[in-house]
Amino acid sequence: MSRASGASATRVYQYAGCSTCRKALTWLKQHGVAYESVPIVEAPPSKAELKRVWKASGLPLKKLFNTSGQSYRQGGFKDKLADMSDDECLAALAADGKLIKRPLLVAGDRVLVGFDPEAYAATLG
């Protein structure tokens, strides 16, 4: 695992059991990108960090949800999301790292949700 320090470090929230996360970390290593790996289940981003990440990503808030995950299904979020406020969505994401689509890469004000090699190259290349 690569470690980087400082405020501008690339941080990757990931889950060790996630094959997509493993692919993203392999890509980062192969391209010499220093990063801090953060276990998303044990140390999910705070509500304030999620709000910052969401705004920086330019994505709709609902795109931060891991819609294929067990927490999403068991929590009934498919039916609840449409009626949830942004604040409620952020609180739910901060409370359960498995609700967050992963990997979640944060490099300063640049944010990538999920893994797309082309997007990683364009953002970090």
- Two tokens, residue 124: 């970090």
- Two tokens, residue 53: 């990440």
Digit-coded pLDDT (tens) for 2-43: 443 344 589 999 999 999 999 999 999 999 999 999 999 999
Digit-coded pLDDT (tens) for 39-95: 999 999 999 999 999 999 999 999 999 999 999 999 999 999 999 999 999 999 999
Name the H helices within 1-125.
Answer: 19-30, 47-57, 70-74, 77-80, 86-95, 117-124
Does 5 fall in a domain?
Answer: no
Q: How many separate domains does the chain show?
A: 1
Burial of 40-49, coded b for 16+ CB within 10 Å and e otherwise, reads bbeebbebeb
Q: What is the CATH number of the domain that holds 38?
A: 3.40.30.10
Domain that holds residue 48: 10-124
Does 4 fall in a domain?
Answer: no
Q: Which of 40, 112, 45, 51 is nearest to 86 (CA)?
A: 51
